Structure 1
Amino acid sequence: MSHPAAATAPRRLHLNVNILHSGFVPSAWRLDHADPRAFVDVGHYVRVAQLAERGKLDAVFLADNAAIIDQIDFRPITALEPTVLLASIAAATTHIGVIGTASTSYNEPYNIARRFATLDHVSHGRAGWNVVTTADLPSARNFGRDAVPDHAERYARAAEFTEVVKALWNSWDDDAFIGDKASGRFIDVNKVRPLAHRGRFFQVQGPLNLPRTPQGHPVLVQAGGSADGRDLAARHAEAVFSASQSFEESAAYRRELNARAAAYGRPAGVKVLAGLTTIIGATEAEARRRRDDLIDQIPWRYSLTRIAGILGVSPDVLDLDRRLPDDLALPNGGNGNHTFFHATLAEARRGGHTVRELIRALGGGGGHRVIVGTPEQIADDIERWFKGEAADGFNLMPDALPDGLEAFVEGVVPILQQRGLFRTEYEGRTLREHFGLARPDHTHAQRHEAAEPA
């Protein structure tokens, strides 16, 4: 039965929080109330997730790295494996989604399919997988490689990897489980089918060794702004974590991504969740003082090295009091991180910043957009981007955790709720319901198509 009212329902804003250990700003762990060991304390992550759930946020998100790629002499790193940590968070919460990163470069499809299907079962339908490739040399060396695989090869592998994972998730029919004590029938084996996948990168027989999950399969999220990354997102992603420094840039990205998705027969498009760091104060002056206090506790050498790494240059070529060089090209001949390179360069050019000013504008040298202001100013900015269709929501990265998120939940969320932009209560229990996503169709024909070699 059709529901005309549902077709005209207003768009709803989506908000995730990226739990970057102590917070987005590298010096967050130095605040008086901060625990320097929070990056390996499950209790810290659980408390942040519970705070996000209090604010009715859609999901918590955990990034991941397969190596030490930050400067650990100064800053904590992403250390705990996401799916294990998210299982603990799921056990301590009831509604909020749990999204974790897993790389297609240094995993196998069967393991990832099983791991995230398990997380979806454990969380009763709240799991999401953030699909990424990995472009750093330390990770390559941790998996026996002397060089980072070529960009095009990484994404070709990622495309086949994602196809196989989806096919594994769909290798059981929804009604394959019987569990009838009287007849002694447990599983209808005619509704559990192998893949027999033979592709360029993978050979996977299947089927998966656990039933289809509560939400059909975990929500597929993608993060990557290159042409190959956008194509992967257009084919498979249900939501995308983006990094845009301006309204116009983000709006153009969203239009282009949804046009690509429509070309693949996906008219519903992809939810674009723009990265956003918030630094909040009761007044704008107070917010700026907080920003300056945090930035002043970061060694300039740390920030220089961090930005140089994003741009693929030596720190020695950057002068704090001069603008970036004019002849910067994609790192490693285009085999580096396209997303943060372009985002950092866009902010530098847009603001005409010196390197010192750029570091301050980026909250210490990251690639995401930073807003400094009052709860009202933050809400105004979010409303402008959302109503102007520059984004469907935001992947929040508070300056410090948990107090930066607390300021958002207590100050910004009520304003968004009063304006009718954000939920006042959860209306469903699964991550798909939070995002307004349909449960994936499940037919044998679709399973067979997904299992074809890439």
Structure 2
Amino acid sequence: MPQKRQIHLSAYLVGTGIHVASWRLPEARKNASIDIDYYKYLAQTAERGKFDIAFIADSLAVNEDSHPNILNRFEPTTLLAALAGATSKIGLVATASTTYHEPYNLARLFASVDHISNGRAGWNVVTTGDATGETGRNFSRTEHVEHDHRYERAEEFIDVVQGLWDSWEDDAFVQDKETGVFFDPAKMHRLNYKGTYYSVQGPLNIGRSRQGQPVIVQAGASEPGQRLAARTAEVVFSHVKDFERAKAFYKSLKSKLPDYGRTPDQLHILQGISPIVADTQEEAEAIHRKLHDLLLPEQGLRFLSGYLGKVDFSRYSLDTPAAEVEFPQDNGIQSHFEWMTELIRKQNPTLRELYALLEGGANRELIGTPAQIADVLEKWFVEEAADGFMFIAPVLPQGLEAFVDKVIPILQERGLYRQDYEGDTLREHLGLEKPYNRLAVRDRALSEVES
């Protein structure tokens, strides 16, 4: 019988939490974003909760408007390597950009983490939205690559990286001391890729890991992003706040998989959530109010700029209807822009109300008791708005601790979530098969034709 579908969870680890004011709480740890012992504790807590993934996001530029927890933080693949030694089961995923890396270097970085973690690594593929142009200026570029062209480059980039990961067959390194044969030349494969954007020979100077290749993760919600995900992704993070829209996105993306010879169970869609969990509704609301009170108005407005492009908010009062503000269509993350503009159209909030809606990403129905939170997650999962969730805590570590200690047991009791890990690799956690070596298949087919 097929295995019963169960919720998958990823923990988004970012300093003191995703709420812009979380660092101001009296109990918040100073320098949390560069405290390795703190990050080890977060990853271990998520592992105690049997999460599939500990996730580390990244950006390649900061400015005065950036979230406090990203102004001073670790490079993510370096952090993953450290977390690999502090955990034994949980998958480890980090963000890296196809626009600002070279395929060979990136393939080597993630293959190394995959070996260090014994098969638990994943790469979150981003093309990098750059609404302000500041990322490009950090990489000697005067202009950022246009949205659709970024995805065209990303398709080639992923093909090159995955090809490099297949440079060696699993048993290529024979290391026979008696004969002096270190590797079998027939099991080494050069990529010899030549495309529109990249030309890469190979082979990569590290072999395949226990799980074959790191898991491919993406977050693009635009049409080009969905096409790229349908062809290459194994996990997709989404941030659709509305239930019906989330169901439509789920159906749309899953329906594209057969075009690439794939089945729905080969890609998991995780919706972003930022619950505030407490023993009573009143306590949860109090935590939310406390965070809101710590948020300075200018911080809230700067936060809006990150979603909607550079706007001179000094021209407006906080009580200005957001619909009266001209937000530029930028070259950044289109799904954020579209969600925000639709929210403005439907709810007609003031600027003050708009940033209050955004702060910490809290959905009103996810502020409550453990049972209430579990009910919402169950609905989204059972009715196929999600295969699981990206847990983005407003406050860390408290939010993660509360979720692990109070919500996870309810999901387990309902048979919606694992009691324990049943495998050791990230692919095993996600129910994904180890990928075959495509270069080995290619070269053997060529050899047969030639003979």
TM interval, shorter chain, is over 0.9
1:111 equivalent in alignment to 2:105:
yes
Partner of 1:412: 407
Partner of 1:331: 329
Partners of 2:400 and 2:137 in 1: CA distance: 36
Say whether residues 1:161 and 2:157 are aligned partners.
Answer: yes
Q: Note the 1:20-35 alignment, pairs <5 A.
A: 20-35=14-29
TM-score (norm: length of structure 2): 0.92
Distance 1:9 1:200 in 2: 42
User: What amino acid is aligned across from residue 281 of structure 1 in structure 2?
Assistant: A
Say if 1:369 and 1:245 are closer, same or farther in 2 by CA, change over 3 A: farther
User: CA contact under 8 A between 1:45 and 1:89: conserved in structure 2?
Assistant: yes
Aligned mates of 2:70, 2:97 — CA distance in 1: 21
In structure 2, relative to structure 1, the CA distance for the partners of 1:318 and 1:125 (3 Å cut) is farther
- Name the structure 1 match of 2:32: 38
- Once the two structures are superposed, what CA deviation does each residue of 1:265-298 show, in whole Å capped at 9, x if it has no partner? 1123421011111112221121111111111111
Which residue does the alignment assign to 1:304?
301
Q: Find the residue that maps to 1:362 and give its secondary structure.
A: helix
CA 1:434/1:323 → structure 2, altered by over 3 Å: closer, same or farther? farther
CA gap of 1:78–1:276, structure 2 versus 1, over 3 A, is: farther
CA deviation map 1:401-448 (0-9, x unaligned): 111100100111011011000111111000011111111122447657
Asked whether the 8 Å contact 1:133–1:155 carries over to 2, the reply is yes
In the alignment, the residues of structure 1 paired with residue 54 and residue 418 of structure 2 have an alpha-carbon distance, to the nearest angstrom, of: 16
Residue 57 of structure 1 deviates from its aligned partner by: 0.7
- Structure 1 residues 349, 382: CA separation in 2 closer, same or farther (over 3 Å shift)? farther
Aligned with 1:185: secondary structure?
Answer: coil
1:126 and 1:431 in contact (8 A); partners too? yes
1:141-156 residue pairs with structure 2 within 5 A? 141-156=137-152
Partner letter of residue 303 of structure 1?
A: G
1:240 counterpart residue number: 236
Q: Which amino acid aligns with 2:147?
A: H
Alignment map for 1:413-452 (pairs within 5 Å): 413-444=408-439
Which sits farther off after the overlay, 68-77 or 428-437?
68-77
Match of 2:12 in 1: 18
Moved more, 344-353 or 37-46: 344-353
Mean Cα displacement is larger for which, 68-77 or 407-416? 68-77
Count of residues paired in the alignment: 440
C-alpha distance 188-446 of structure 1, shift in aligned 2 (>3 A): closer
Which of residues 362, 368, 371 is equivalent to 1:373? 368
CA distance in 2, matches of 1:395, 1:78: 23
Match of 2:397 among 383, 399, 402: 402
Cα distance in structure 1, aligned partners of 2:64 and 2:241: 23
Q: Any gaps of 5 or more consecutive residues in structure 1?
A: 450-454
C-alpha distance after superposition, 1:147-203 (max 9, x if no partner): 211112211111110000010011211221212233332211111111111222111
Structure-2 residue corresponding to 1:452? none
- 1:262 corresponds to: 258
2:202 maps to which of 194, 206, 215: 206
Distance 2:364 2:154 in 1: 27
In structure 2, what is the Cα distance between the partners aligned to 1:75 and 1:61?
15
Distance 2:67 2:405 in 1: 34
Secondary structure in 2 matching 1:39: helix
Query: Do the aligned partners of residues 230 and 43 (structure 1) sit closer, same or farther apart at CA in structure 2, a change above 3 Å counting?
Result: same
Offset at residue 373 of structure 1 (A): 1.1
Cα RMSD for the two superposed structures: 2.2
| AA in 1 matched with 2:151 | Y
Alpha-carbon shift at residue 324 of structure 1 (Å) = 2.3
SS for the counterpart of 1:363 is helix
Partner residue of 1:63?
Answer: 57
Q: Distance in 2 between matches of 1:147 and 1:291?
A: 40
- Which of 273, 277, 280 does residue 274 from structure 2 map onto? 277
SS in 2 for 1:143: coil
Provide the rounded CA distance (Å) in 2 between the counterparts of 1:244 and 1:78: 28
Correspondence 1:249 to 2:254 = no
Paired position in structure 1 for 2:95: 101
Match of 2:47 among 50, 53, 68: 53
Pick which of 22-31 and 312-321 moved more: 312-321
User: Shift of the alpha carbon at 1:113?
Assistant: 0.5
Letter in 1 for 2:12: N
Distance 1:370 1:230 in 2: 27
The TM-score normalised by the length of structure 1 is 0.92
1:312 Cα deviation from its structure 2 partner: 2.3
Q: 1:376 to 1:273 in 2, by over 3 A?
A: same
Give the whole-Å Cα distance in 2 for the aligned partners of 1:368 and 1:337: 21
1:112 is matched by which residue type in structure 2? L
Q: Deviations over 1:369-391 (max 9, x none)?
A: 88211111111110000000000
Kindly, what percent of the aligned residue pairs are identical? 44
1:223, CA displacement in angstroms? Answer: 1.2
